[in-house]
Amino acid sequence: MRVIALVPGGIGDQILFFPTLDDLKRYYPNAQIDVVVEPRSKAAYRVSKSVHEVLAFDFQDRNSLADWGNLVGTIRDREYDVAIAVKQSWFVGLLLWLTGIPIRISYQGKGSVFLTHAVPFKPSQYAAELYHDLLQPLSIKTPVPELAVNVPKPDIEWAQKEQKRLGVHETGYILIDGGSGQLSQAKELDKIYPVQNWQQIIQDFQYKQPDLPVVVIKGSGDEQFVRSLLESSPDIKVTAPDDIGKLTAIIAGANLMLSTDSAALQLSVAVQTYTISLLGPTDPAKLLPKNDKFLAIKSPTGKMADISPNTVLEKIWGG
């Protein structure tokens, strides 16, 4: 069986879709599963264990009819048996119909007439469960499995060397993914926690746990964020993994992860690191599974800046 899944969204969205892909592979071990994702999200599949090939298509771009036609042609030439679309619209439904794929699955709504199977859309549930519902027409009706990733051995070895370089190999460490949130700012999404609040949290942590190092993840565009933290807390460590495998491996080694709504948050869930997530407008029930290892602090106002550092510290010290 050949399966194609259309999965718009960022890296975090892809990680949340991994359990659906993994279950599909578990029930149909001989299936070849390909995905179509935005170029910014292609890197996620470095840590996927179920996908054969990743095709890039920028769903967010102002694509011409020729661009969409090329995508239809590419999919059509590969003669898939099953197509799964994570985002339902009449246009996506029409696109799938044009590919000639015999089994076409997405959610109920506009464009359902072009599908062979339309699944009820339940947006209030955990995102991984929402995606997993798309497997019901394939007779897969078991509960959604936990998020899981497959980290390449070289990335694990890199993380071990990086821990030694940082001097945290024996002591363990607390990991912070605050990020500058360039993409969030561009989309006007409130996912950024003020740097002064991070500074207060780090200083309190270092005062109470001086022997447990604080490591900050430095992603692309995080220079100013990291520089500001170093000015107030020069003893923090900084790591800059250059791919998602290395990032996953460094997260897996942490004693505790503090994160905003990001790809790193979903990776932390996948490797079962104790995690405290700071959320603004996002509903924690949609983003995190029910598990004592993953705590969410939601802003009382929906604005990240209104999460008090003391509230975060109470979660850290009180669990």
pLDDT at 53: 96
Q: Is the CB of residue 54 less than 8 Å from the CB of residue 42?
A: yes
pLDDT at 63: 83
Mind listing the pLDDT tens digit for each residue in 175-212?
A: 999 865 544 444 546 788 999 999 999 999 999 999 99
Q: What is the pTM of this model?
A: 0.92
Amino acid at the residue 32: Q
Q: Name the nearest CA neighbour of 261 among 315, 184, 197.
A: 184
CA-based torsion, 118, 119, 124, 129: positive or negative: negative
pLDDT at 221: 83
Mind listing the pLDDT tens digit for each residue in 204-235?
A: 999 999 999 999 999 888 889 999 999 999 99
Q: How many CA within 13 A on the CB side of residue 161? A: 9
pLDDT at 319: 55
| CA pair distance 49, 248, nearest whole angstrom | 14
The full set of domains in the chain, from first to last, is: 2-138 (3.40.50.2000), 153-318 (3.40.50.2000)
Task: Return the structure tokens found at 303.
Answer: 């604005």
pLDDT at 17: 98
- The neighbour count for residue 116, using CB atoms within 10 Å, is 15
Q: Give φ, ψ of 267 to 5 degrees.
A: -65, -40
- Distance, C-alpha 128 to centroid of its chain: 10
Q: Name the nearest CA neighbour of 40 among 53, 27, 28, 54.
A: 54
Task: Return the structure tokens found at 231.
Answer: 């000015």
- Three-state DSSP class for 141? coil
Question: For the chain, which ranges sit under pLDDT 70?
Answer: 179-189, 319
Q: How many CA within 13 A on the CB side of residue 246? A: 14
